[in-house]
Amino acid sequence: MPVKANKSREQILLDDVADLERLGYSQQLFRQMGGFSNFAVSFSIISILTGAVLLYGYGLKFAGPVVNSVGWPLVSLLTLAVAMSMAEIASAYPTAGGLYFWAFRLGGRGWAWLTAWLNMIGQVTITAGINVAAAIYCIGATTRILGLPPDVAVPFFGSATNWYFQLFVMVLLLLPQIAVNLWGIRLTARLSDISVWWHIGGVAVIVIALAFFGQHHNSAEFLFSFAPTPAAVSEVTTLYGAAPVMLLFVLSLLQAQWTYTGYDASAHMAEETVMARLNSAWGIVLSVGVSAIAGYLMLMVLTWCIPNGDVAATAADPYPVLQIVSGNLAPLLANTIAVIIGVAMWLCGVASVTSMGRMWYAFARDDGMPGSRFLKQVGGKHQTPFAAIIVTSVLSVLICVYAAAFVVVTSISTICLYLAYGIPIYLNARNRRRGRGEWMTREIAPWSLGRWSRSVNLIAMVWIVIISVVFMLPPNQLVAWTMGGVGVLLGVYWVGSARARFRT
C-alpha cells in the first residue's frame, strides 16, 4: 500500500502487530521475514527441481511429450487461478493459521475445523513425499555417479532399493532440516532465499548444458506428440477395458499438479512476515508464476533432448531426468547436474517442514486437536514452534511406513491440500453470491482481484473438483480408500468430540 512506503520499519511492524490483534491473536512468533523471503518459502516448496523432476517419468509414461508441452502450461494457468483466489483472502486475514482461519471467518467453525485437518494431513504427506522421494533420488544418483548397480548391497537393509533403507536415508535428510527450523526463522529465511537462486541457477545450468552440449535434439513435432507408453496403455486398458486419449492425458497431469503444492506456505508465514497483507499474497502468486515459467523452459529442453526420441525407455528408467542428462552430456557435467538437483530437493524439504510446523502450531493455538497444550509451545532464542516442528516431522516419516508407494503419497497430499485450498475459495464465492457474511472486497483485501474475482474463483473451484476426482481413480484406488477412511474418521471425531470443544 502506498501509505506504508513512507513509514519506518518500526511503524510497519506495529501495523502488522495491530492487524494480527484485530484478528484475535497476539504476536508470539519472530516477525523478521521480508517479501522476497516469504515468496522464497513457497517457491522452494513448489520446487520445480523436485516435483517436475521426480514425476517426469510418470507424466511421460501416460501421455508422452505432450504432458510437458501442453499439460504443464494448462495446469500452470489453472493453478494460478487457485493461487490468485487464495492470495486475495490471504491479504485480508494475515495469520499463521492461514486457510482454516479464513474458513472460520467466511463459514464458521465447522468449515474451519475440516479445512485445518485437510491442510494438516496435506502438509505432512507433502513433506513425506518430498523427503522420501529425495532419499530415493539421492540413493539412485549416488549409485549412478559411482558406477554401482541400483540394488547394490548395503549393511542391515540388504540392498539400496530396500524400502526401509530408503526411509533410513529419508530420516538422515530430515534431521538437519529439523535442526535448521528449530534454530530460527532468520536461518530458515536465509536458506529459502538461497534456494530461489539455487533453483533458478540449476534450471539455467540444465537448459544451457542440454541446449548447447546435448547429443540428442528431437524435432518440434516430437515435443507436441501424444505418445503414451505400451505399459501405460496396458495398465489403463486392464482397469477400464480401453485407454482413451483424454483419460491417459488427465492421469499424466499429476506430474505438474503435485509440483504445484505447498504454496500456501506464504500464508502460514504471515505472522513472521513484514507487511504481511501484501507480501503474503504476492508470495503465493509469484511462487506459482515464476515456477510456471522456469519449469516450462526446463521441461521443454529435457523433452527435446530425450535420447533418440525413445519415450518408453526414458519413462521406464527409475531416474528419467538423470537418464536424459547422462545420455546427452559428459560425465562430469551430468554428475554436477545430479548434485544440483539433490541439493534443491533438500532445500525444498527445509521449506516444507517450516510451513508444516506453522500450520500445526496455529491450529494447536486454537486448541483444535489432541495434545494442543504441548503442540502450541513456542520457545528458544528465536521463538520457534519447536513442538509442532518435531511432532509433524516424525509423522511425515510414519506416513511413509503405511503408504510405501511414492505416487500414493503424492496423490493424497495433492487432494488434501487442494480441498483445503478450495473450501475458503468456495465460502468466499458463496458469501458474495448470497450477499451475507464476509467476502473479499478492495476495502478488506489490499491484494484484490476486483471485478475478475467471480470468474477466477469459479475456474479455481472447478479445477479443484476435477483433480480431486481424477487422482483417486484407478490406478490410484488406494488413495480413494485412504481418503474415504480419513473422511469417516474425521466425521466420527467431529461428532463425538471436536464439535463440542473447538471454538477458535
Residue 14: CB partners within 8 Å, gap ≥ 6? none
pLDDT, mean of residues 347-375: 86
- The larger pLDDT score, comparing residue 17 to residue 34, is at 34
Q: Given a cut of 60, is residue 1 above it in pLDDT? A: no
**Closest-CA residue to 335 (of 140, 109, 156):** 140
- pLDDT given for residue 381 in this prediction: 65
Residue 25 lies in a domain: no
Decide if 123 contacts 359 (C-beta within 8 A): yes
185: closest CA among 96, 94, 88, 83? 96
* Amino acid (1-letter code) at residue 183: W
Looking up residue 472, the CATH number of its domain turns out to be: 1.20.1740.10
Does some domain include residue 27?
A: no
Q: Given this model, what pLDDT does residue 98 score?
A: 77
Among 439, 355, 458, CA closest to 92: 439
Q: Is the dihedral of CA 432, 435, 438, 441 positive or negative?
A: positive
Would 403 be classed as within a structural domain? Answer: yes
Q: How confident is the model at residue 33 (pLDDT cuts 50, 70, 90)?
A: low
Sign of CA dihedral 355, 357, 358, 359: positive
pLDDT digits (tens, 9 = 90+) for 401-427: 765 556 677 778 888 899 999 999 999
For the stretch 172-216, pLDDT in tens is 999 999 999 888 777 887 888 898 999 999 999 999 999 999 999
Phi/psi at 379 (5° precision): -165, -175
pLDDT at 29: 58
- pLDDT exceeds 60 at position 5: no
Q: pLDDT for 149-174, tens place per residue?
A: 988 999 999 999 888 899 999 999 99
Please state the separation of Cα 441 from the chain's center in Å.
28
Three-state secondary structure string covering 76-94: HHHHHHHHHHHHHHHHHCC
Kind and range of the H or E run holding 457: helix 453-470
Give the range among 210-224, 305-319, 369-383, 450-464 with minimum mean pLDDT.
369-383
Q: How far apart are CA 380 and CA 29, in angstroms?
A: 11
CA dihedral 362, 367, 373, 374 (to 10 degrees): -40
Find the mean pLDDT for residues 353-361. 87
Average confidence score pLDDT of the chain: 87
By residue range, what is the domain housing residue 462?
Answer: 38-501
Q: Is residue 474 part of a domain?
A: yes
Q: Which residue has the higher pLDDT, 472 or 317?
A: 317
Which cell numbers hold the place of 483? 481418503
pTM for this predicted structure: 0.87
Q: Which residue has the higher pLDDT, 164 or 79?
A: 79
Burial class (CB in 10 A: 0-12, 13-18, 19+), 30: middle
Task: Report the residue count for the chain.
Answer: 504
Mean pLDDT of 13-33: 60
266: which residues sit within 8 A by CB, 6+ positions away?
A: 38, 39, 41, 42, 90, 273, 279, 280, 281, 283, 284, 287
Residue 123 located in a structural domain: yes
Instruction: Indicate if the pLDDT at residue 87 is higher than 60.
Output: yes
Is 101 in contact with 277 (CB distance < 8 Å)?
no
**Position 3 confidence tier, pLDDT thresholds 50, 70, 90:** very low
Predicted confidence (pLDDT) per residue in 94-105, tens digit: 887 779 889 999
Flag whether 9 is in a domain.
no
Domain total for the chain? 1
In a domain, 30, yes or no: no
In the chain, pLDDT over 70 holds for what percent of residues?
A: 91
396 domain-assigned: yes
DSSP string, 253-300: THHHHHHS--TTHHHHTGGGBTTHHHHHHHHHHHHHHHHHHHHHHHHH
